[in-house]
Structure 1
Amino acid sequence: MPELMGAKNTVNAVAMKPRVGAVRYLNTKPLVHGLDDADTPFSLTFDYPSHLADQLALGLLDVALIPSIEYFLGDGYRIITDACIGCLGPVWSVKIFFRTPPEQVRTLALDEGSRTSAALAKILLAERLGVRPQLQALPLGSDMRDCEADAILLIGDRAIHPPAIDAVEVWDLGETWVQWTGLPFVFAMWVARPGIQTEAISQALMHARNGGLDNLQMIAEREAPKHRLTTSECFHYFHDNLHFTLGPQEKAGLKRYYELAAGLDLAPSGRTPIYDDCEIAR
């Protein structure tokens, strides 16, 4: 009987762990380094960014790495750590492929895996060129060569390894944003829904990010073959294309992105970001 009670208590302890969701793309690997350890104070699952946002909104997750646009669409969300996915220039894994010159685009197909990049694409086309194309969904797993839209937004692995699309121009959206605004871009942050105790979670997430940055070469060696990359390509993606710290400039970039999104009715007005006491850890 004591053995059965002990086993039951163990199962309950596991079941009661906070539920955390992380992006399944390559770009998240340095953020989750070592989180498969048994001592991690939460259970971790992986999914597409848009799915994580939906699960957080439904209460199926307590904390998630969600698209930054979804933070401003949520109710009472808090940013709980300075670990994020961002860029200071070209990001490589978020691109628009134009079949016609950008100023002539009438239809835009949006990768269903992300919502921040979709909003960013709309902002850049509208604010820079005055272009507001009709939108089409590009389902996950679809054959993009069958898509007839004037432009196609791809994210993640699909952007890194795009099919043979006849493109007259390609925008790396990280590079386009930084050149236009002079600010970093933040694609995703660790966000908690209301009422969740996050101190232990946030510390674990920052520790994982710090460990990931210290082990980029090892992570690149492990992940590169899974994503049809060389170790060098994978390392430079982590080291040069991505940025993992939400500092003052990144917060300014996030604020600018929100203001532009609200101006195009892509987000509600009057929202102010709520940051937990997440000091810059590096």
Structure 2
Amino acid sequence: MLRIGAVSYLNTRPLVYGLAQRLAGLGQLSFNLPSRLADDLAAGRLDVALIPSIEYFRGVGQQIVSDAVIACRGPVWSVRLLSRVPIGEIRCLALDEGSRTSAALVRILLAEQYGLHPETVPLPMESDPDTIDADAVLLIGDRAMHPAAGVYHEIWDLGDRWCRWTELPFVFAMWVARQDVDVSQLAPILSAARDEGLQQLAEIAGREAGGHGLTTPDLHHYFAHHLHFRLGAEEQAGLHRYQRHAAKLGLIANQRELVFQ
């Protein structure tokens, strides 16, 4: 049985629609934070996981399993930089501990657009962002989707900033397997779950919205217009662009090609 890990955030729901049932007899599905999934995959505790894209570039002996991804082609809503000072004055940046791809992305944007290399401190999942002593805070996932309670000088949607700057999509997470794992039966299952999920966005939004403090129309709009779930040629170009900038900042050790099963 394959050990398969998926992200526990809302943005995963269309990718995992009916997936547990589709995996019957082939694999078992569990959920966790993106950063923890990456650690479990690297340590061999998982065979396949939906991991932050930055972790694919850091890993070795891994393969991309499916064209089902979490990406955006514009504002993403669920990844935000909240700055208490003008952007050019950020000296200390708190990074959501659930984030790795977005943590690298915000550092790339600050370095390339403002020449900034701020000190970074962790923002634990259980911490209130308003209590963190930092000039700016990076939030991802569900808690980034609600209006900020504090007073912020500027708020960035990182998907919007990247897409405007590069004119390319951004890929936040991908299904990745260890290279010695046979995923020949899994790849079509992941794509089929994604395709069915995209046909059931209204149902998913109606089921999930209330528990996350969102309206059904708002959540449906998030799934349908803020997120993109297919890895195409432009998404691959965006990944390569991200890889180059991450390597330039020393956030990844080496360049590697995208390896598909």
TM-score bracket for the superposition, by shorter chain length: over 0.9
1:190 is aligned with what amino acid?
Answer: W
The one-character-per-residue Cα deviations of 1:41-61 (angstroms, maximum 9, x if unpaired) are 210000000000000000000
Asked if 2 retains the 8 angstrom alpha-carbon contact of 1:144 and 1:163, the reply is: no
Question: Whose Rg is larger?
Answer: 1
Q: Distance in 1 between matches of 2:235 and 2:23?
A: 31
What residue in structure 2 maps to residue 138 of structure 1? 123
Structure 1 segments of 4+ aligned residues over 4 angstroms from their partners: none
What residue in structure 1 maps to residue 168 of structure 2? 183
What residue in structure 2 maps to residue 30 of structure 1? 14
> How far 1:163 moved relative to its partner?
4.2
Q: Distance in 1 between matches of 2:117 and 2:147?
A: 24
What residue in structure 1 maps to residue 146 of structure 2? 161
Report the TM-score, using the length of structure 1 for normalisation.
0.91
Q: How does 1:1-282 map to 2 (within 5 A)?
A: 17-37=1-21, 40=24, 41-276=26-261
> How far 1:168 moved relative to its partner?
0.7
Runs of 5+ unmatched residues, structure 2: none
Asked if 1 retains the 8 angstrom alpha-carbon contact of 2:22 and 2:189, the reply is: no
Q: Greater shift after overlay, 127-136 or 161-170?
A: 161-170
Q: Distance in 2 between matches of 1:269 and 1:227?
A: 39
Q: Distance in 2 between matches of 1:87 and 1:175?
A: 9
Asked if 2 retains the 8 angstrom alpha-carbon contact of 1:97 and 1:171, the reply is: yes
Q: How many residues align?
A: 260
Identify if the C-alpha distance between structure 1 residues 38 and 188 changes in structure 2 by more than 3 Å, giving closer, same or farther: closer
Report the TM-score, using the length of structure 2 for normalisation.
0.98
Q: Distance in 2 between matches of 1:231 and 1:261?
A: 36
Percent identical among aligned pairs is: 54
Q: Distance in 1 between matches of 2:111 and 2:57?
A: 20
> How far 1:269 moved relative to its partner?
2.1
Q: Distance in 2 between matches of 1:249 and 1:222?
A: 32
Asked if 1 retains the 8 angstrom alpha-carbon contact of 2:52 and 2:173, the reply is: yes
> How far 1:36 moved relative to its partner?
2.6
Taking only aligned residues, the RMSD between alpha carbons, in angstroms, comes to 0.9
Runs of 5+ unmatched residues, structure 1: 1-16, 277-282
Q: Secondary structure at the match of 2:21?
A: coil
Q: Distance in 2 between matches of 1:32 and 1:72?
A: 24
